[in-house]
A and B are shown apart, each in its own frame.
Chain A
Amino acid sequence: MEHIDFSLVDWSRAQFALTALYHWIFVPLTLGLSFIIAIMETFYVKTGNPEWKRITKYWMSIFGINFAIGVATGIILEFEFGTNWSNYSWFVGDIFGAPLAIEGIMAFFMESTFIAVMFFGWNKVSKKFHLLSSWLVAIGSNLSALWILVANAWMQHPVGTTFNPDTARNEMTDFWSVLFSPVAINKFLHTITSGYVLASIFVIGLSAWYILKKREILFAKRSITIAATFGLIASLYLAFTGDGSAKAVAKYQPMKLAAMEGLYHGSENAPLIAIGVLENVENSKEEDFVVDLPIPGGLSFLAFGDWNAYVPGIHELVHGDSLHGIISYKEKINIGKKSIDALAAYTKAKKTGNTDEAQKQLKIFKENYKYFGFGYYFGHDPHELIPPVKLSFYAFHIMVGLGTYFILFFALILFFTVKNKIQDKKFILRLAVWTIPLAYLAQEAGWIVAEVGRQPWVIQDLMPTIAAVSKIDSSNVIITFFLFLAVFTALLIAEIKIMLQQIKKGPEEKLIENSSKK
């Protein structure tokens, strides 16, 4: 398809990636911190101890700074589906739009209504109503994550839907299959728990800084106790859901798994690369490890729970492997093209009233629909359908490596906190501060794996990004890309500067606190 404007597709992708990556700097902290704040406020309401109120209010001020910019970047994502992915919006709007609308009705209003009470209601409503509002903000923000992740999971594994040839789009046939798809459940749980982990690390890191500065020791220790307990539970669950995600990827997106592991040639007893450095092989489209630490059978086990299971590599997926029943991409492209052509012929036959021909073409269309999206690559080199391997590999390994480290980190922090020795462990406290940026790195890496690894699909096997864009001159998208970059970067700098100032300032003075609570 020489007529595809690749500049438009690339810039549209770049803009969406930019927005998503910026948005995801702020969302995980909102997801996790909202619960941590609600737990802290519950302690306050239960005990009546003003120190807990002071702790709650401090973390709430941090939450507010972060929340505002999360909202700012979030609105763009929703509307970019329309502005930059217009074809996609029609092709799947019948399924994708519903979760977005439900997200708005169920979650956004809950968040936006009760957040006003959370920040300004201390002296206006009762203690219990205020506590309820804090919990509803936490639930609302997590609910909003549910619906958008359900939508994202559907793109990775489209279920509960059928293509309607008369309207030329996918239509939902089973809402519950969309909502409770195994990919959706895993994705939701994995993503929100990653937010809890980041927020816990954030709270521990900041509290550690106060201890290092010999300020607010009681405040910091109490904050660490809550965050480390919450974080340890969340990180263990994160590993569990991560395992579930890997198995889902192996089953539904084998190319993504191969890219994540840099696996060019499949095998039984496939190794898991614990650490590796990939380099291009000369005169070849492949890459190979110059350094690697393989765990024999590890990938087979991770993917299928069996150390000897066969895991296909990129080579087998592109060129096919009859022994393992894998169809080549070339064949899939032909099948997809057959399906697209049949749909065109069906529509024409229907227009002219040729019912027999229409029925015949409809049958061909349905039989070949499974690889509909591949048809758009007719005449292209099938290697164009391989996602960026290096980026997927490193992002995956950074995410998993850091995730493992976080479990040990929380265990260590909790151990010293329980022993009441955390304030004496300078190294651990410094480590806690430096773990904050690592938590953000793991978050971004996770999304890179999920979204880069599934390229070129916007909807797995059904719609490639080249057929999903809006038809606008790419110069317009280039301008908006740089406008977004400038605005988001300026706001990020503002956010960080305000946050650092707030951290330096610390919680409210106790004197003010005691007078205001009268």
Chain B
Amino acid sequence: MFENLSLIALQNYWWFIISVLGASLVFLLFVQGGQTMIYRLGKTETERKMIVNSLGRKWELTFSTLVVFGGAFFASFPLFYSTSFGGAYWVWMIILFVFIIQAVSYEYRTKAHNFLGKKTYETFLFINGFVATIFLGAAVATFFTGSAFSVDKMNLVDLYSGKMPIISSWEKSTYGLEALWDTNQMAFLTNISLGLAVFFLSSLMANMYFINNIDDETLYKRNLVCLKRNTGAFLLFFVFFVVRILMIDGYAVNQETHEVFLQANKYLHNFIDMPFVLIIFLVGVLLVLFGIFKTLFKASKNGIWYSGLGVFLTVLALFFIAGYNNTAYYPSSFDLQSSLTIRNSSSSHYTLTAMSYVSLMVPFVITYIWIVWKAMDKKKITADEVENDSHMY
């Protein structure tokens, strides 16, 4: 089946899979958003326990999605993996560190003799929620704003010029952190705005998740108040980001020569050239707002599902305009021709074919995750449960 597809079709298919994983990850980041509100929402120990246990049954799903997102990127677009991870070293390292400290915090937080103390593990959860969302958002924003790197495959066979035989080089000594503080360019504001938009989005999604998952009137009311504030902050940063990327010059690829060049309003053009993506984007944004509206004004507890689908569609559309329609998805502001495109950074036809068969398992995986989620969440979390069950975080 897949072996009959052209390399271009397979590359497009794999950018679609990466986009699906990226969109799923952003939806599941509600776990991170929730972690930043443990004390803001939970005023008593029982309330905090309900919050932590509600998130604790989902954190591994987010974690696994991040790992699979990384693995799939490695398998399908290895040049991105080697260039971005090996170059924007500190951005990825900081993201990794905050996920290390998250992974133990749920299990160890309330255990006796946990060495670092309960507060430390709660701080770990907060740091993970705050830093991971902002850094992941900012890292994805560089898909639009660019980074300073160069790629030269000839370095691998250069034994004489005195250079290291390394293909990808990062041109800034801050190794990625410049995306967050390089005040010489407007790019950093765009990067930070997406980071903060993701942070507030994950927080408002967490509010709706708690409303759906925890059966407690006090927490419900506090979540509503938080949801309003988070929505306001999210809209501010998200609108700024969207307006910026629609205005900036984008990194376009000449279909014939494969040369990368700057094109005015490239991402706006991408929306216009691919109207179905624009529709997906608009439907996504509307669904996010609809979910929030139902929660705030119709006392609905299912807002998470509308907004969740909305988040998925919106992020999907953003990935589409970053990579499709002859666009360099990981542009280099240092050397335009080093920019990574779906065409020049992918795995071979054979590997993409083999991987495509594996991707057929994804619907099966989604089905069993859905079944388990429904079975586990059939009974909402209550104060009684967290106080009396033997295995609680």
Contacts and interface: CB of A to CB of B under 8 A. Distances in A.
A101 B153 CA distance: 24
Contacts of B390: 57, 508, 512, 516
B376 interface: yes
A254 to B, nearest CB: 26
Nearest to B361: A105
A501 to B, nearest CB: 4
Interface string B129-154: 00000000000000000000000011
Contacts of B115: 490, 493-494, 497-498
B347 A93 contact: yes
A344 B157 contact: yes
A337 interface: yes
Contacts of B170: 471-472
B274 interface: no
B1 interface: no
A487 B96 CA distance: 12
Nearest to A175: B354
Contact of B359 (A69, A105, A495): A105
Interface stretch (B40-48, B97-105, B237-245): B97-105
Interface in B55-114: 57-58, 60-61, 63-64, 66-68, 70-72, 74-76, 78-79, 81-87, 89-90, 92-93, 96-97, 99-104, 106-108, 111-114
A491 B102 CA distance: 11
B166 A471 contact: yes
Interface string B327-371: 000000000000000000001101100110011011001001100
A113 B79 CA distance: 31
Interface in A273-329: none
Contact of B99 (A75, A103, A375): A75
A101 to B, nearest CB: 4
B74 to A, nearest CB: 4
Which of A69, A91, A109, A168 gathers the greatest number of chain B CB atoms within 10 Å? A109
A423 interface: no
Given A82-B86, A469-B166, A168 B354 contact: no
Interface string A122-140: 1111000100010000000
Q: Give the contact-size bracket for chain B.
A: 35 or more
A443 B270 CA distance: 53
A507 B174 CA distance: 51
A35 interface: no
Given A483-B97, A494-B116, A71 B63 contact: yes
B168 interface: yes
Interface in A158-174: 164, 167-169, 171-173
Q: By CB atoms of chain A within 10 A, which of B75, B157, B368, B389 has the most?
A: B157
A147 to B, nearest CB: 9
Contact of A340 (B157, B168, B350): B157
Contacts of B101: 72, 487
Given A100-B74, A111-B64, A124 B376 contact: yes
Q: Chain A interface secondary structure, helix, strand, loop or mixed?
A: helix
Contacts of B106: 68
Q: Identify which of A347, A469, A470, A508 gathers the most chain B CB atoms within 10 Å of its CB.
A: A470
A490 B97 CA distance: 13
B173 interface: yes
A470 B166 contact: yes
A225 to B, nearest CB: 25
B165 A87 contact: yes
Contacts of B168: 86-87, 90, 470-471
A493 B100 CA distance: 15
A385 B57 CA distance: 49
Contacts of A167: 153, 348
A116 B57 contact: yes
B372 interface: yes
B298 interface: no
Nearest to B360: A105
Interface string A94-109: 1111101111111011
Contact of B389 (A72, A82, A123): A123
A69 B82 CA distance: 27
Contacts of A471: 86, 164, 166, 168-170
Interface stretch (A1-9, A182-190, A229-237): A1-9
Given A72-B100, A93-B75, A97-B76, A86 B107 contact: no
Contact of B100 (A75, A101, A343): A75
A340 to B, nearest CB: 5
Contacts of B103: 68-69, 71-72, 75
A482 interface: no
Contact of B75 (A69, A97, A123, A516): A97
A406 interface: no
B104 A491 contact: yes
B163 interface: yes
Nearest to B57: A116
Centre residue among B64, B369, B378 by max chain A CB count within 10 A = B64
A335 interface: no
A8 B63 CA distance: 30
B391 interface: yes
B78 A76 contact: no
A264 interface: no
**List of 6 A-B pairs having minimum Cβ-Cβ separation, nearest first:** A93-B78, A86-B86, A82-B85, A97-B75, A470-B86, A104-B68
Given A83-B89, A124-B375, 16 more contacts: A65-B107, A78-B71, A78-B74, A82-B84, A83-B86, A87-B156, A93-B75, A93-B78, A98-B351, A106-B361, A109-B64, A113-B61, A124-B378, A168-B153, A471-B86, A505-B112
29 contacts: A61-B391, A65-B108, A68-B103, A68-B104, A68-B106, A72-B99, A72-B103, A75-B67, A79-B70, A86-B166, A95-B351, A104-B67, A104-B68, A104-B70, A106-B358, A112-B60, A120-B57, A124-B376, A168-B156, A172-B350, A376-B165, A378-B159, A470-B85, A471-B164, A472-B170, A493-B115, A501-B112, A505-B112, A508-B390
